[in-house]
Amino acid sequence: MATPNAANLLPFQPRRPLLRLRQRGIAALEFSLTLTMLLIFVCAVVGYGVLFWMQQQLASAATEGARAALYAQMTGSANVQTDACVAAMSVFSTGSAVACATTRAPCTWAGSGGQTANCATVAMTYNTQSWPLLATFQAFIALLPGTNKNWVPTRLSSKAVVQISQGTP
């Protein structure tokens, strides 16, 4: 009779399939790749949301500046352009990358009685490159294949025109 050896006395242990050993870190790798793409997508949504919000703020500020230009003209202010830009820039914080320009010129339409009407144009511009998150988003876009990489505008602008006088004041 043969003596049993130690290997025969151990309970049966099934061997792990070789494929399962190779798959051990795949879930972590897939999670990290998925999370990276999700974060890039969220960054893009937030970036474009800020662009739309900023465009709305520029339009609102230009409208406020045009309103202030009309008010300044009606109250007899000496410098309508400055009053308009001060009112428009009050929407934004000091030191922002927003610029204001006000011009006074004849309107493209005739005033009452065919007289030339004077208009004030308040133009607001914003340099999007001054916002760091959009610059980061531009860097991600540059890594993508293809030739057209102008997905994020470099400048946003809005203007409002108001008739400030009926003919020569």
What ranges do the domains of the chain cover? 34-134+154-169
Q: Is the pLDDT reported for residue 10 higher than 90? A: no
pLDDT digits (tens, 9 = 90+) for 125-167: 998 888 877 777 777 777 877 767 677 788 899 999 998 887 5
Q: What are phi and psi of 154, to 5 degrees?
A: -85, -20
Q: State the pLDDT at residue 2.
A: 57
End-to-end Cα separation, the chain, in angstroms: 127
CA distance 106 to 85: 19
pLDDT digits (tens, 9 = 90+) for 27-68: 888 999 999 989 888 887 888 888 899 899 999 999 999 999
Prediction pTM value? 0.71
Q: Is the pLDDT reported for residue 108 higher than 50? A: yes
SS3 content of the chain, % helix, strand, coil (to 5): 50, 20, 25
